[in-house]
Amino acid sequence: MADILEALCNAGFSAYLCGFSAIDSWLGREKQIGTQVLTNADVSDLARLFFYFFYPGIDLADAALDEKNRTWYFRCMDSVRDNHPSFRLLEFYQDYKSRVFYDPRGIYPMLAGIRRNVHVTRKAKVIDTVIETDPLEIFREGINRDCEHCRILMDAALILAKYFPPDTGTQRQIKEITDFFSNIERCSIERCSIDKCNIKEGGSQKNNLLDGAAPSQEEQRILLSSLLVSPNPGLGLELLKVSGFIKKFWPELAILDEADHSKEFHPEGNAWKHTMETFRYRKGVSDLRLSLGLLLHDSGKPIAVSANSRRFDGHAELGEVQAHRFLGRLGFGASLINDVCFLVRNHMLPAALPRLPFSRTAWIMASPLFPTLMELYRCDESSSFKGLDGYYESSAVYQSYLRNCRNPYRSADGKKLNRKQISGSVKF
- 77-104 pLDDT, tens digit per residue, is 998 888 889 888 899 999 999 999 999 8
Does position 253 have pLDDT exceeding 60, yes or no? yes
Does position 249 have pLDDT exceeding 80, yes or no? yes
- Mean pLDDT, the chain, whole residue set: 82
Q: What are phi and psi of 102, to 5 degrees?
A: -120, 140
- Say which residue, 267 or 124, is predicted with more confidence: 267
> pLDDT-based confidence at 114, cuts 50/70/90?
low
Does position 122 have pLDDT exceeding 50, yes or no? no
Does position 391 have pLDDT exceeding 90, yes or no? yes
Who contacts 78 (Cβ-Cβ below 8 Å, separation ≥6)?
Answer: 40
For the chain, percent of residues with pLDDT exceeding 70: 78
102 touches 115 (CB < 8 A): no
Plot region of 66 (φ>0 → left; ψ -120 to 50 → alpha; else → beta): beta
Nearest to 18 by CA among 81, 110, 109, 65: 81
Does position 358 have pLDDT exceeding 60, yes or no? yes
Does position 54 have pLDDT exceeding 70, yes or no? yes
Other C-beta atoms closer than 10 Å to the C-beta of 200 total 12
273-283 burial string, b = 16+ CB within 10 Å, else e? Answer: bbbbbbbeebe
Other C-beta atoms closer than 10 Å to the C-beta of 245 total 23
CA distance between the termini of the chain: 41
Q: For the chain, which residues make up each domain, given as ranges?
A: 1-107, 113-249, 277-428
- Say which residue, 342 or 51, is predicted with more confidence: 342
CATH code of the region 1-107: 3.30.460.10
Query: Worst-scoring range by mean pLDDT, 161-170, 250-259, 311-320?
Result: 161-170
How far apart CA 119 and CA 310 sit, in angstroms, is: 44
pTM: 0.85
